[in-house]
Structure 1
Amino acid sequence: MIEILIQNILPVFSIMVLGFAMGRAHFVSKGEATTVNRIAFMVLQPALIFPLVNGVDFSDFYTDAILLYAAAQAIVFCLTLAVCLYVMRCTFLEAWLLAMATVFVNSLLYIWPISSLIYGAAGNFPITALVVWDSTITFAFFIITTDLLANREQSVRNSALRLLKNPVLIAIFLGITTNLLGLRASEPLLVAFQFAGAAAAPLTLFALGVILSGHSLIPNSKITLVSVIKLMVLPVAVFITLSIGERPIVWDEMVLLNAAGPSGAMAFALATLYKIRTDTIAPVIIWTSVLSLFSLAWLA
């Protein structure tokens, strides 16, 4: 456990700590980090997502494991949304993204790199399958719904045109379409994507650390409740749903490992993009990232 924590988990986590420290030292400004975050979100993440989705073999997926994971996500999301709206009295958009933070794990930029270091590129295929699920279906759902909710006064036509130009959604659509048609990206294109995509995770985590450094780390009741839902309720819900049916034990273990990960940075990125308050979302990401270190090391 300690060896995995030191050799595989902390090196990935350290880039966010570095950003946090540089933000607190005023070496990197929030404006600079916001720009870096936008570039990573709009340019580098599509380069990471497309080859992943284009090249994965969907026939090797244990679909029941992914659907059971999705069912747990849906249950916990609805529960958190209700709690945020009716108990914590959040605005709808803040409640929406807080609920997203409890079910959208930082799998693409955090769990996937860590599991690749531990198990190798071939040994962590269940995590790869969940990354494909979350970075396509789940992420696309939240991008589209958050955009529509934040721009309710705009016409359907304008909203559709804006979403059609979103680089992340374009990468998801092209990745799924080319995969289903059996069209694999050429080697030079994959090299270009690999070169750009490799910077997505460290830049996003670094920028996130800088931006989060401007927020208070003192947990209040809202931060504590949402963090507990993410770190405890989601893994328990996933564990219960996985009791349905049978599949290789490695799938159950890695799906549970993914569920125990910290809140995804994308909830914060969307909040920043649409100017939704982040004073609860930001600390939730910090605390779940810190507190999940030992649970991930134990489960791995």
Structure 2
Amino acid sequence: MLHVLTHNILPVFSMLALGFLLGRTGRISFEEARTVNRVAFLVLQPALIFPLIASVNFHQFDFVALAGYALCQAIAFTLAYLVARRLFGREHLESWLLAMCVVFVNTLLYIWPISFLIYGEAAALPITAIVAWDSAFSFAFFIITTDVMAGRSEGALRRVAGNPVLIAILLGAIVNLVALSLPEPLLTAARFAGAGAAPLTLLALGVILSRHALMPSPVILGISGLKLLGFPLLVWLALTLGQADTAWQPLLVLTAAGPSGAMAFSLAMLHGIRTDIIAPVVIWTSILSLISLSWLA
């Protein structure tokens, strides 16, 4: 456990922590971090995910395990929304995004590099499957529903259609399905650019989150607990009862135990929804997941 923490998880987490420190000390401004994040989102993340989807073997996907994971997302999301709305009395849209924090994991930029450091190529199929699912379906679902509820439905489909990560997934899937052989220089360029996606995005995220207080409150602890304990436990139970592939189960549980993705925070900023709870949830789940991920791995 200690070796996994120090050699596989902390090196990835260090970029987020470094960004937080540089933001708190004023070495990198909020505007600079947003620019870096935008470049990573428009250029580096698509370059990372395109060759991943283009080369993966879809026929080897365990769709039963994927369906179980998706069902757990739906159950955990509903429970988290009710907890935030009814128990903690948060506003509707804030509760919606807090529930998103519970089920939308920082998979591509955090779990993916960690899992490859720990498991090597064995992590390729399960983690790629979750990246594809969350990017193509969960991501689009939350963009559209939040836009509609915030009264901005006229631009929702345009934002989804123009999303560079979704475009990279679509192009990668087409290349994969038609068995198109890509030029090696193109793949080399994509891998070269994609290698910077995770560190730059995590660094920028740390700077952006550094503007928020860390003091935990009952609602922060409650949502973080559902994310780091409730959701992984639910996924483990569903995959165990569903007799999922033994090679997939630990990786999907590991994914479920990862920190909240920053997309809920980004959507809250876009629509003017308060972030004083959402941002600390992202921060605390990132910190506390060091323990849960080390233990599960």
The normalised TM-score by structure 2 is 0.92
Would you say the 8 A contact 2:102–2:226 is kept in 1? Answer: yes
Q: Does the alignment pair 1:221 with 2:218? A: yes
Letter in 2 for 1:237: L
The Cα shift of 1:153 comes to: 4.8
Would you say the 8 A contact 2:123–2:251 is kept in 1? Answer: no
Match of 2:109 in 1: 109
- In structure 2, relative to structure 1, the CA distance for the partners of 1:29 and 1:277 (3 Å cut) is same
Deviation track 1:231-263 (CA, whole Å, cap 9, x = no partner) reads 111011111211233243221111111111111
Deviation track 1:168-189 (CA, whole Å, cap 9, x = no partner) reads 3322322233333333543222
Deviation track 1:245-294 (CA, whole Å, cap 9, x = no partner) reads 32432211111111111111222233334443221111111111111112
Deviation track 1:105-158 (CA, whole Å, cap 9, x = no partner) reads 1111111101111121345532232222222222232233333333x2554xx5
Deviation track 1:77-114 (CA, whole Å, cap 9, x = no partner) reads 11112222233333332222211110011111111101
Letter in 2 for 1:196: A
Q: Does the alignment pair 1:186 with 2:183? A: yes
Q: Secondary structure at the match of 2:240?
A: coil
Q: Does the alignment pair 1:238 with 2:235? A: yes
Q: After superposition, where does 1:114-129 map in structure 2 within 5 Å?
A: 114-129=114-129
14-23 or 43-52: bigger deviation = 43-52
- In structure 2, relative to structure 1, the CA distance for the partners of 1:93 and 1:180 (3 Å cut) is farther
- In structure 2, relative to structure 1, the CA distance for the partners of 1:159 and 1:112 (3 Å cut) is closer
Percent identity reads 57
Would you say the 8 A contact 1:54–1:185 is kept in 2? Answer: no
Match of 1:42 in 2: 42
Q: Secondary structure at the match of 1:242?
A: helix
Match of 2:53 in 1: 53
137-146 or 69-78: bigger deviation = 137-146
- In structure 2, relative to structure 1, the CA distance for the partners of 1:42 and 1:84 (3 Å cut) is farther
Letter in 1 for 2:50: F
Distance 1:12 1:67 in 2: 29
- In structure 2, relative to structure 1, the CA distance for the partners of 1:90 and 1:40 (3 Å cut) is farther
Distance 1:153 1:110 in 2: 30
Would you say the 8 A contact 1:52–1:132 is kept in 2? Answer: no
Distance 2:224 2:290 in 1: 14
Q: After superposition, where does 1:118-267 map in structure 2 within 5 Å?
A: 118-150=118-150, 152-153=151-152, 155=154, 158-267=155-264
Would you say the 8 A contact 1:51–1:185 is kept in 2? Answer: no
Unmatched segments (≥5 aa) in structure 2? none
Distance 1:247 1:215 in 2: 40
Distance 1:182 1:246 in 2: 32
Would you say the 8 A contact 2:23–2:29 is kept in 1? Answer: yes
Would you say the 8 A contact 2:147–2:153 is kept in 1? Answer: no
The Cα shift of 1:2 comes to: 0.5
- In structure 2, relative to structure 1, the CA distance for the partners of 1:210 and 1:236 (3 Å cut) is same
Unmatched segments (≥5 aa) in structure 1? none
Letter in 1 for 2:207: V
- In structure 2, relative to structure 1, the CA distance for the partners of 1:51 and 1:76 (3 Å cut) is same
- In structure 2, relative to structure 1, the CA distance for the partners of 1:247 and 1:10 (3 Å cut) is same
Match of 1:14 in 2: 14
Letter in 1 for 2:72: A
Deviation track 1:157-208 (CA, whole Å, cap 9, x = no partner) reads x543443223233223222333333335432222222222211111111111
Q: Does the alignment pair 1:86 with 2:83? A: no
Distance 1:197 1:144 in 2: 27
Q: Secondary structure at the match of 1:291?
A: helix
Distance 1:154 1:249 in 2: 42
Match of 2:28 in 1: 28
